[in-house]
Amino acid sequence: MTVLDSEKHQAWQDRYRNGYFLAPMVRVGTLPMRLLSLHYGADLVWTCEIIDKSIANCTRTVNDKTGVISFTKDGREIFTTHADEKSRVVFQMGSASPETALEAARTVEHDVAGIDLNCGCPMKFSVQGGMGAALMEDPDRLCAILETLVQNVCVPVTCKIRVFDDEEKTVALARRIASTGISALTVHCRTRHMRPREKAMWHRLNRIVDELSPLPVILNGDICHYDDVQRAREITGATSVMTARGAIANPSIFRKEGVSVLEATIEFVKAAMRASNSYANTKYTVLLMYTDTKSPEYKTLQASKCYETMCAAMGITEFYHAEGKLCVTDRNDPMRVKQNAALGKRSATKNEKSVGVQPTSDAAETPTKRAKA
């Protein structure tokens, strides 16, 4: 069991003060997006939610070429990270069990800066499993998970919730969560049933900030531009803020003077290749970053089948051949393998014809067939 002295706990809390963070995002909060966000100035970055049973007891390997640390199970890559983000990445997990949550946390705790329990996800798969927003209706279980983590892992533990319709119920839950010894609380200022298009209720954060002080409280919801950061702090008193959709639109949102969407997208693709990120996931994220779905650039990217054609569409073919293709594994760029195999087959056939080689016995035609042809 970890015995946490007050000085260390204070230092851990300070990590979450006065920050601008990358929020956890399903399918988007992957290693390349996190590294790029840090490059552009994010203070901390959250991983996308990973279920405790998936990560628990994974096998850890390090790619000597890229430095990527992979956690795999049954041939599947569950989580990837890198030493470059170790001191600033928060691993978010979905859990409904203190025991399994601890197994999961112990699997990754030496490669991350913190562990976060997702108590706000409204997705069906999460809620049906007793995880995410379902935990807000089961505070005993929620707090048991947090207490187990706080007492047994060697990194800060945090929690992310939404708000209830009832403000008193929200404040009461926040107080109880704070009593578990966590280092910070993130509040997504929407209810479980509200969608992103509905305005976040920043005003609901003020009481929580006051009640939990000096515990850091992080605001999530409607941080879409750099200028929103200071405005949110002034309105709510929040210690820090985090953004999701703002970073999807342009990861350089963490800088006052950002870069163009095109430049940020190109840098994302480069980061994805250096991290050997799955091509399918990279393409999914890139298409989210391009808001003009009718533009020629979007349609060209949409038609791309592998990293090579994507890089060609973005004008970075030189990077692909000089560096990118050397980092990406065949598993994470499967169409490249198929295309190379097809090119090899066509080349071999062409060579056979040029030197007069007859077809092999398996493909040989009878004289009758040749005559009919």
What is the SS3 assignment for 221? Answer: coil
Q: Are 95 and 149 a contacting pair, CB within 8 Å?
A: no
- DSSP-derived letter for residue 49 is P
Diameter of the chain measured on Cα atoms: 91
Contact 28, 249 (CB under 8 A): no
β-sheet with 68-73: strand ranges across: 59-62, 68-73, 76-82
Q: How many residues does the chain have?
A: 373
- Residue 31 CA to residue 83 CA, distance in Å, equals 11
323 in helix, strand or coil? Answer: helix
Closest CA to 202 of 185, 183, 187, 216: 187
Cα distances from 299 to residues 23, 294, 334, in angstroms, run: 29, 7, 21
- Angle, nearest 10°, between helix axes 296-303 and 279-289? 170
Q: For residue 311, indicate whether it is catalytic.
A: no
Query: Which residue, 227, 291, 288, is CA-closest to 255?
Result: 227
Residues 6+ apart with CB under 8 A from 314: 265, 266, 269, 301
Torsion of CA 260, 266, 269, 275, to 10 degrees: -90
Active-site choice (121, 143, 159, 306): 121
Query: Which DSSP state fits 324?
Result: I
> Measured between alpha carbons, how far is 121 from 354 in angstroms, rounded to an integer?
62
Cα-to-chain-centroid distance, residue 215:
26
Tokens 């999530």 -> residue: 220
Which residues are identified as catalytic?
121
